[in-house]
Amino acid sequence: MSAVTFPRKILTALTPAMLAWLLLIALCLGIGLVAASQVLLKGLVVTNMSDTVPWGLWITIDLSSIALGAGAFTLSAAVYLFGIKRLQSVVRLAVFIGFIGYTSALLTLVMDIGRPDRFWHPWVYWNVHSVLWEITWCITIYLIIMLLEFLPVVAETPYFSRYPLFGRIAHLLHKAAPAFALAGLFISLLHQSSLGATYGIVKSRPIWFKPSMPIMFILSAIAVGPALTMAVALVLEWVQGKKQVPFQVLRGIARYSGFALLAYAYLKFWDFASVNYYGRTPAVSESLYLLNQQTPYNFGFWVGEVIIGIILPVILFLAPRFNRNPVNLVLGALMAVTGVVMNRWNVTVGGLFVPLSYSPGTQYTLPPGVYTPSLAEWGVAIGIIGYILLMLTLGTRFLPLFPRQEA
Protein backbone atom coordinates (compact mmCIF):
# COMPACT_ATOMS: atom_id res chain seq x y z
CA MET A 1 0.00 0.00 0.00
CA SER A 2 2.77 2.30 0.91
CA ALA A 3 4.19 1.48 -2.50
CA VAL A 4 1.25 3.38 -3.99
CA THR A 5 1.33 6.38 -1.71
CA PHE A 6 5.08 6.76 -1.93
CA PRO A 7 5.41 8.01 -5.54
CA ARG A 8 2.30 10.15 -5.28
CA LYS A 9 3.89 12.03 -2.43
CA ILE A 10 6.85 12.80 -4.62
CA LEU A 11 4.69 13.96 -7.49
CA THR A 12 2.69 16.35 -5.38
CA ALA A 13 5.92 17.79 -4.05
CA LEU A 14 7.16 18.68 -7.52
CA THR A 15 6.60 22.41 -7.48
CA PRO A 16 8.18 24.46 -10.29
CA ALA A 17 10.87 25.65 -7.93
CA MET A 18 11.65 22.07 -6.94
CA LEU A 19 11.74 21.05 -10.58
CA ALA A 20 14.20 23.82 -11.40
CA TRP A 21 16.30 22.78 -8.42
CA LEU A 22 16.34 19.15 -9.55
CA LEU A 23 17.26 20.24 -13.08
CA LEU A 24 20.19 22.21 -11.68
CA ILE A 25 21.35 19.16 -9.77
CA ALA A 26 20.95 17.00 -12.86
CA LEU A 27 22.99 19.49 -14.86
CA CYS A 28 25.79 19.45 -12.28
CA LEU A 29 25.76 15.67 -12.17
CA GLY A 30 25.72 15.50 -15.99
CA ILE A 31 28.76 17.75 -16.26
CA GLY A 32 30.47 15.67 -13.57
CA LEU A 33 29.74 12.41 -15.35
CA VAL A 34 31.07 13.71 -18.69
CA ALA A 35 34.25 14.95 -17.02
CA ALA A 36 34.67 11.74 -15.03
CA SER A 37 34.26 9.58 -18.13
CA GLN A 38 36.97 11.65 -19.84
CA VAL A 39 39.30 11.08 -16.91
CA LEU A 40 38.61 7.36 -16.80
CA LEU A 41 38.92 6.92 -20.56
CA LYS A 42 41.97 9.03 -21.29
CA GLY A 43 43.70 9.07 -17.94
CA LEU A 44 44.90 11.98 -15.85
CA VAL A 45 46.41 13.59 -18.93
CA VAL A 46 43.12 15.51 -19.25
CA THR A 47 43.98 17.38 -16.05
CA ASN A 48 46.46 20.22 -15.84
CA MET A 49 48.41 18.46 -13.14
CA SER A 50 52.02 17.65 -14.02
CA ASP A 51 55.09 16.01 -12.58
CA THR A 52 55.95 19.31 -10.88
CA VAL A 53 52.42 19.84 -9.52
CA PRO A 54 51.07 16.33 -9.08
CA TRP A 55 48.29 17.45 -6.73
CA GLY A 56 45.78 20.16 -7.45
CA LEU A 57 42.10 21.07 -7.28
CA TRP A 58 40.91 17.57 -6.44
CA ILE A 59 43.17 17.22 -3.43
CA THR A 60 41.89 20.62 -2.29
CA ILE A 61 38.33 19.25 -2.55
CA ASP A 62 39.29 16.10 -0.61
CA LEU A 63 40.90 18.06 2.19
CA SER A 64 38.12 20.64 2.35
CA SER A 65 35.20 18.23 2.32
CA ILE A 66 36.77 16.08 5.04
CA ALA A 67 37.55 19.14 7.15
CA LEU A 68 34.01 20.48 6.65
CA GLY A 69 32.60 17.08 7.62
CA ALA A 70 34.18 17.52 11.03
CA GLY A 71 30.90 18.80 12.45
CA ALA A 72 29.84 15.16 12.69
CA PHE A 73 32.41 14.03 15.21
CA THR A 74 32.59 17.35 17.05
CA LEU A 75 28.84 17.57 17.70
CA SER A 76 28.50 13.82 18.39
CA ALA A 77 31.22 14.10 20.99
CA ALA A 78 29.58 17.21 22.44
CA VAL A 79 26.27 15.41 22.88
CA TYR A 80 27.25 11.88 23.79
CA LEU A 81 30.55 12.39 25.60
CA PHE A 82 30.33 15.85 27.11
CA GLY A 83 26.60 15.60 27.79
CA ILE A 84 25.54 18.82 26.06
CA LYS A 85 22.08 17.42 25.42
CA ARG A 86 20.56 20.49 23.82
CA LEU A 87 22.75 19.91 20.76
CA GLN A 88 20.95 16.59 20.25
CA SER A 89 18.65 18.25 17.74
CA VAL A 90 21.46 18.85 15.22
CA VAL A 91 23.52 15.71 15.68
CA ARG A 92 21.72 13.76 12.98
CA LEU A 93 22.15 16.56 10.50
CA ALA A 94 25.83 16.87 11.44
CA VAL A 95 26.44 13.16 10.89
CA PHE A 96 24.57 13.30 7.60
CA ILE A 97 26.69 16.25 6.41
CA GLY A 98 29.80 14.47 7.59
CA PHE A 99 28.79 11.42 5.62
CA ILE A 100 28.25 13.54 2.49
CA GLY A 101 31.62 15.22 3.01
CA TYR A 102 33.54 12.00 3.41
CA THR A 103 31.85 10.29 0.48
CA SER A 104 32.56 13.34 -1.69
CA ALA A 105 36.19 13.07 -0.72
CA LEU A 106 36.25 9.40 -1.61
CA LEU A 107 34.57 10.03 -4.96
CA THR A 108 37.12 12.72 -5.79
CA LEU A 109 39.98 10.51 -4.63
CA VAL A 110 38.88 7.71 -6.91
CA MET A 111 39.12 10.21 -9.77
CA ASP A 112 42.47 11.47 -8.56
CA ILE A 113 44.41 8.25 -8.18
CA GLY A 114 45.98 6.91 -11.33
CA ARG A 115 44.62 3.42 -10.78
CA PRO A 116 41.03 3.62 -9.50
CA ASP A 117 40.80 -0.15 -9.94
CA ARG A 118 43.31 -0.51 -7.12
CA PHE A 119 41.52 1.73 -4.60
CA TRP A 120 41.42 -1.21 -2.17
CA HIS A 121 45.20 -1.70 -2.03
CA PRO A 122 45.77 0.31 1.17
CA TRP A 123 43.47 -2.09 2.99
CA VAL A 124 45.46 -5.13 1.89
CA TYR A 125 49.01 -3.87 1.47
CA TRP A 126 49.99 -2.02 4.60
CA ASN A 127 52.67 0.56 5.03
CA VAL A 128 52.13 1.61 8.62
CA HIS A 129 54.81 4.27 8.25
CA SER A 130 52.77 6.24 5.72
CA VAL A 131 50.42 8.98 6.94
CA LEU A 132 48.40 8.42 3.80
CA TRP A 133 47.91 4.78 4.77
CA GLU A 134 46.74 5.86 8.19
CA ILE A 135 44.39 8.41 6.65
CA THR A 136 42.89 5.83 4.30
CA TRP A 137 42.24 3.47 7.19
CA CYS A 138 40.84 6.16 9.46
CA ILE A 139 38.53 7.46 6.76
CA THR A 140 37.27 3.96 6.03
CA ILE A 141 36.66 3.22 9.69
CA TYR A 142 35.07 6.58 10.30
CA LEU A 143 32.77 6.15 7.32
CA ILE A 144 31.59 2.88 8.85
CA ILE A 145 31.11 4.59 12.21
CA MET A 146 29.03 7.31 10.59
CA LEU A 147 26.94 4.71 8.77
CA LEU A 148 26.27 2.91 12.05
CA GLU A 149 25.48 6.20 13.75
CA PHE A 150 23.11 7.07 10.97
CA LEU A 151 21.40 3.70 10.55
CA PRO A 152 18.83 4.41 13.32
CA VAL A 153 17.75 7.49 11.36
CA VAL A 154 17.25 5.47 8.19
CA ALA A 155 15.40 2.81 10.18
CA GLU A 156 12.91 5.44 11.33
CA THR A 157 11.66 6.07 7.80
CA PRO A 158 8.18 4.64 7.08
CA TYR A 159 9.65 2.26 4.52
CA PHE A 160 11.46 0.23 7.15
CA SER A 161 8.53 -0.01 9.52
CA ARG A 162 7.67 -3.32 7.88
CA TYR A 163 10.97 -4.85 9.00
CA PRO A 164 10.80 -4.88 12.79
CA LEU A 165 14.13 -6.69 13.10
CA PHE A 166 15.87 -3.83 11.32
CA GLY A 167 14.29 -1.43 13.75
CA ARG A 168 15.47 -3.45 16.71
CA ILE A 169 19.06 -3.54 15.43
CA ALA A 170 18.87 0.18 14.80
CA HIS A 171 17.64 0.75 18.33
CA LEU A 172 20.59 -1.22 19.68
CA LEU A 173 22.93 0.86 17.53
CA HIS A 174 21.32 4.01 18.82
CA LYS A 175 22.01 2.87 22.36
CA ALA A 176 25.66 2.46 21.43
CA ALA A 177 25.86 6.07 20.25
CA PRO A 178 28.29 7.14 23.02
CA ALA A 179 30.67 4.35 21.98
CA PHE A 180 30.50 5.50 18.36
CA ALA A 181 31.00 9.09 19.43
CA LEU A 182 34.12 8.08 21.37
CA ALA A 183 35.51 6.02 18.49
CA GLY A 184 34.63 8.79 16.06
CA LEU A 185 36.36 11.39 18.19
CA PHE A 186 39.50 9.28 18.42
CA ILE A 187 39.62 8.36 14.74
CA SER A 188 38.80 11.89 13.59
CA LEU A 189 41.41 13.52 15.79
CA LEU A 190 43.85 11.11 14.16
CA HIS A 191 43.07 11.57 10.52
CA GLN A 192 42.05 15.21 10.51
CA SER A 193 45.51 15.95 11.90
CA SER A 194 47.26 13.49 9.62
CA LEU A 195 45.85 15.32 6.63
CA GLY A 196 47.95 18.25 7.77
CA ALA A 197 50.85 15.94 8.54
CA THR A 198 50.70 14.77 4.92
CA TYR A 199 52.27 18.14 4.18
CA GLY A 200 54.00 18.81 7.48
CA ILE A 201 56.31 15.82 7.22
CA VAL A 202 57.61 16.47 3.71
CA LYS A 203 61.04 17.73 4.62
CA SER A 204 62.09 18.66 1.11
CA ARG A 205 59.40 21.37 0.86
CA PRO A 206 60.41 24.35 3.02
CA ILE A 207 57.00 25.98 3.45
CA TRP A 208 55.29 22.69 4.31
CA PHE A 209 57.79 21.20 6.70
CA LYS A 210 56.59 22.29 10.14
CA PRO A 211 54.99 20.58 13.12
CA SER A 212 52.15 23.13 13.30
CA MET A 213 50.62 21.75 10.09
CA PRO A 214 48.57 18.88 11.60
CA ILE A 215 47.35 21.05 14.48
CA MET A 216 46.25 23.87 12.21
CA PHE A 217 44.36 21.39 10.05
CA ILE A 218 42.45 19.85 12.92
CA LEU A 219 41.76 23.17 14.63
CA SER A 220 40.32 24.69 11.48
CA ALA A 221 38.24 21.55 10.92
CA ILE A 222 36.66 21.46 14.36
CA ALA A 223 36.05 25.20 14.19
CA VAL A 224 34.38 25.34 10.79
CA GLY A 225 32.74 21.88 10.55
CA PRO A 226 30.05 22.63 13.18
CA ALA A 227 29.51 26.09 11.69
CA LEU A 228 28.66 24.47 8.37
CA THR A 229 26.14 22.19 10.09
CA MET A 230 24.63 25.25 11.74
CA ALA A 231 24.37 27.07 8.42
CA VAL A 232 22.78 24.09 6.66
CA ALA A 233 20.22 23.80 9.46
CA LEU A 234 19.31 27.48 9.04
CA VAL A 235 19.08 27.28 5.25
CA LEU A 236 16.90 24.17 5.48
CA GLU A 237 14.69 26.07 7.89
CA TRP A 238 14.27 28.87 5.34
CA VAL A 239 13.62 26.49 2.46
CA GLN A 240 11.15 24.30 4.31
CA GLY A 241 9.63 27.12 6.29
CA LYS A 242 9.68 24.92 9.35
CA LYS A 243 11.64 25.53 12.53
CA GLN A 244 13.47 22.32 13.35
CA VAL A 245 16.24 23.42 15.67
CA PRO A 246 15.83 26.12 18.32
CA PHE A 247 17.74 29.21 17.22
CA GLN A 248 19.48 29.43 20.59
CA VAL A 249 21.12 26.07 19.86
CA LEU A 250 22.39 27.21 16.47
CA ARG A 251 23.57 30.48 17.95
CA GLY A 252 25.41 28.46 20.58
CA ILE A 253 27.18 26.51 17.84
CA ALA A 254 28.10 29.76 16.11
CA ARG A 255 29.55 31.14 19.32
CA TYR A 256 31.53 27.95 19.89
CA SER A 257 32.76 28.15 16.30
CA GLY A 258 33.80 31.76 16.84
CA PHE A 259 35.92 30.85 19.86
CA ALA A 260 37.41 27.86 18.07
CA LEU A 261 38.31 30.13 15.15
CA LEU A 262 40.04 32.44 17.62
CA ALA A 263 42.10 29.51 18.88
CA TYR A 264 42.94 28.69 15.27
CA ALA A 265 43.87 32.31 14.65
CA TYR A 266 46.14 32.29 17.68
CA LEU A 267 48.01 29.25 16.43
CA LYS A 268 48.15 30.64 12.91
CA PHE A 269 49.56 33.90 14.22
CA TRP A 270 52.37 32.17 16.07
CA ASP A 271 53.01 29.87 13.16
CA PHE A 272 53.33 32.91 10.92
CA ALA A 273 55.48 34.78 13.40
CA SER A 274 57.90 31.96 14.04
CA VAL A 275 58.20 30.73 10.47
CA ASN A 276 58.29 34.11 8.74
CA TYR A 277 59.75 36.46 11.27
CA TYR A 278 61.56 35.09 14.30
CA GLY A 279 62.86 31.87 12.81
CA ARG A 280 63.16 32.71 9.16
CA THR A 281 65.31 30.33 7.13
CA PRO A 282 66.71 31.20 3.70
CA ALA A 283 64.71 28.39 2.07
CA VAL A 284 61.42 29.66 3.51
CA SER A 285 62.28 33.25 2.64
CA GLU A 286 63.06 32.36 -0.95
CA SER A 287 59.93 30.26 -1.28
CA LEU A 288 57.66 32.99 0.01
CA TYR A 289 59.43 35.62 -2.06
CA LEU A 290 58.85 33.57 -5.19
CA LEU A 291 55.23 32.90 -4.27
CA ASN A 292 54.53 36.55 -3.62
CA GLN A 293 56.28 37.64 -6.78
CA GLN A 294 54.55 35.28 -9.15
CA THR A 295 51.28 34.19 -7.57
CA PRO A 296 48.49 35.85 -5.57
CA TYR A 297 49.60 33.76 -2.58
CA ASN A 298 49.78 36.72 -0.21
CA PHE A 299 46.34 37.95 -1.23
CA GLY A 300 44.91 34.45 -0.80
CA PHE A 301 46.52 34.17 2.60
CA TRP A 302 45.60 37.54 4.09
CA VAL A 303 42.27 38.17 2.42
CA GLY A 304 41.05 34.61 1.87
CA GLU A 305 42.36 32.79 4.92
CA VAL A 306 42.69 35.52 7.53
CA ILE A 307 40.07 38.22 6.82
CA ILE A 308 37.31 36.19 5.14
CA GLY A 309 38.17 32.93 6.84
CA ILE A 310 38.77 34.06 10.40
CA ILE A 311 38.25 37.74 11.30
CA LEU A 312 34.85 38.37 9.70
CA PRO A 313 33.26 35.09 10.85
CA VAL A 314 34.60 35.65 14.36
CA ILE A 315 32.90 39.05 14.46
CA LEU A 316 29.65 37.71 13.03
CA PHE A 317 29.66 34.70 15.36
CA LEU A 318 30.66 36.43 18.57
CA ALA A 319 29.41 40.03 18.53
CA PRO A 320 25.94 39.98 20.13
CA ARG A 321 24.61 42.62 17.75
CA PHE A 322 25.36 40.37 14.79
CA ASN A 323 24.84 36.85 16.01
CA ARG A 324 21.17 37.37 16.82
CA ASN A 325 20.39 37.48 13.12
CA PRO A 326 20.42 34.07 11.39
CA VAL A 327 21.43 35.69 8.07
CA ASN A 328 24.69 36.82 9.65
CA LEU A 329 25.35 33.34 10.98
CA VAL A 330 24.89 31.76 7.55
CA LEU A 331 27.05 34.47 6.03
CA GLY A 332 29.75 33.91 8.64
CA ALA A 333 29.69 30.16 8.08
CA LEU A 334 30.01 30.65 4.32
CA MET A 335 33.03 32.89 4.88
CA ALA A 336 34.64 30.45 7.28
CA VAL A 337 34.09 27.63 4.77
CA THR A 338 35.67 29.76 2.05
CA GLY A 339 38.61 30.36 4.36
CA VAL A 340 39.15 26.64 4.89
CA VAL A 341 38.97 25.90 1.17
CA MET A 342 41.38 28.76 0.45
CA ASN A 343 43.74 27.45 3.10
CA ARG A 344 43.79 23.93 1.68
CA TRP A 345 44.34 25.30 -1.81
CA ASN A 346 47.11 27.65 -0.69
CA VAL A 347 48.88 24.89 1.20
CA THR A 348 48.69 22.35 -1.62
CA VAL A 349 49.26 24.43 -4.72
CA GLY A 350 51.46 27.04 -3.03
CA GLY A 351 53.78 24.38 -1.66
CA LEU A 352 54.08 22.67 -5.02
CA PHE A 353 54.68 25.96 -6.84
CA VAL A 354 58.00 26.38 -5.05
CA PRO A 355 60.59 24.47 -7.09
CA LEU A 356 62.80 21.89 -5.43
CA SER A 357 66.45 22.74 -5.21
CA TYR A 358 68.86 19.88 -4.90
CA SER A 359 71.62 20.63 -7.36
CA PRO A 360 75.04 21.28 -5.82
CA GLY A 361 75.65 24.20 -8.20
CA THR A 362 74.25 27.70 -8.20
CA GLN A 363 72.36 27.93 -11.47
CA TYR A 364 69.97 25.04 -11.91
CA THR A 365 66.60 24.96 -10.27
CA LEU A 366 63.43 23.40 -11.54
CA PRO A 367 60.88 25.76 -13.05
CA PRO A 368 58.11 26.88 -10.67
CA GLY A 369 55.07 24.64 -10.69
CA VAL A 370 52.48 26.72 -12.49
CA TYR A 371 49.01 25.24 -12.26
CA THR A 372 45.44 26.19 -13.06
CA PRO A 373 42.82 23.43 -13.05
CA SER A 374 41.67 22.14 -16.43
CA LEU A 375 38.09 21.95 -17.66
CA ALA A 376 37.91 18.26 -16.77
CA GLU A 377 39.03 19.03 -13.22
CA TRP A 378 36.38 21.73 -12.82
CA GLY A 379 33.86 19.36 -14.36
CA VAL A 380 34.49 16.73 -11.71
CA ALA A 381 34.32 19.45 -9.06
CA ILE A 382 30.90 20.55 -10.35
CA GLY A 383 29.80 16.92 -10.36
CA ILE A 384 30.80 16.63 -6.70
CA ILE A 385 28.78 19.74 -5.90
CA GLY A 386 25.85 18.13 -7.71
CA TYR A 387 26.29 15.01 -5.60
CA ILE A 388 26.33 17.06 -2.39
CA LEU A 389 23.16 18.95 -3.36
CA LEU A 390 21.43 15.74 -4.41
CA MET A 391 22.25 14.02 -1.14
CA LEU A 392 21.06 17.02 0.86
CA THR A 393 17.83 17.19 -1.11
CA LEU A 394 17.11 13.49 -0.80
CA GLY A 395 18.07 13.51 2.85
CA THR A 396 15.82 16.37 3.83
CA ARG A 397 12.94 14.91 1.83
CA PHE A 398 13.07 11.29 2.91
CA LEU A 399 14.99 11.07 6.15
CA PRO A 400 13.95 12.23 9.60
CA LEU A 401 17.06 14.39 9.98
CA PHE A 402 15.64 16.19 12.97
CA PRO A 403 14.52 13.97 15.83
CA ARG A 404 11.08 14.58 17.22
CA GLN A 405 11.35 16.26 20.58
CA GLU A 406 12.25 13.49 22.98
CA ALA A 407 10.26 13.37 26.18
CA distance 81 to 345: 33
CA distance 165 to 161: 9
Q: Does 67 bind another protein (CB under 8 A)?
A: no
Are 75 and 250 within 8 A, CB to CB?
no
From 222-230, 234-242, 312-320, 356-364, span contacting another protein (CB under 8 A): 356-364
Which one-letter DSSP state was computed for residue 315? H
Those residues whose C-beta lies under 8 Å from the C-beta of residue 45, and which sit 6 or more positions away, are none
Distance, first Cα to last Cα, the chain: 31
Q: Does 82 bind another protein (CB under 8 A)?
A: no
Q: Does 8 bind another protein (CB under 8 A)?
A: no
Q: How would you write 158-178 as a 3-class SS string?
A: HHHHHCHHHHHHHHHHHHCHH
Q: Residue 209: which of 221, 222, 218, 200 has the closest Cα?
A: 200
Q: Does 168 bind another protein (CB under 8 A)?
A: no
Are 219 and 264 within 8 A, CB to CB?
yes
Cβ at position 212, least distance to another protein in Å: 19
CA distances from 145 to 20, 95, 132, 171, 337 (A): 35, 10, 20, 15, 24
34, 130, 160, 389: residue in contact with another protein (rule CB under 8 A) = 130
> Between residues 84 and 235, which has the closer beta carbon with respect to another protein?
84
From 93-101, 186-194, 199-207, 261-269, span contacting another protein (CB under 8 A): 199-207
Provide the residue type at 237 as one letter: E
13, 164, 361, 404: residue in contact with another protein (rule CB under 8 A) = 361
CA distance 227 to 249: 12
6, 14, 37, 42: residue in contact with another protein (rule CB under 8 A) = 42
> Between residues 111 and 189, which has the closer beta carbon with respect to another protein?
111
> Between residues 56 and 339, which has the closer beta carbon with respect to another protein?
56
* Most distant CA atoms of the chain, gap in Å: 80
Are 180 and 148 within 8 A, CB to CB?
yes
Q: Does 364 bind another protein (CB under 8 A)?
A: yes
CA distance 387 to 328: 27
Cβ at position 355, least distance to another protein in Å: 9
Which one-letter DSSP state was computed for residue 368? P
- Using CB under 8 A as the binding criterion, the count of chain residues that bind another protein stands at 46
> Between residues 43 and 296, which has the closer beta carbon with respect to another protein?
43
> Between residues 133 and 159, which has the closer beta carbon with respect to another protein?
133
Q: Does 48 bind another protein (CB under 8 A)?
A: no
Cβ at position 306, least distance to another protein in Å: 26
118, 168, 175, 397: residue in contact with another protein (rule CB under 8 A) = 118
Can you give the binding site for another protein, defined by CB under 8 A? 42-45, 47, 49-52, 54-55, 83, 112-115, 118-119, 121-122, 125-127, 129-133, 135-136, 198, 201-205, 352, 356, 358-364, 366
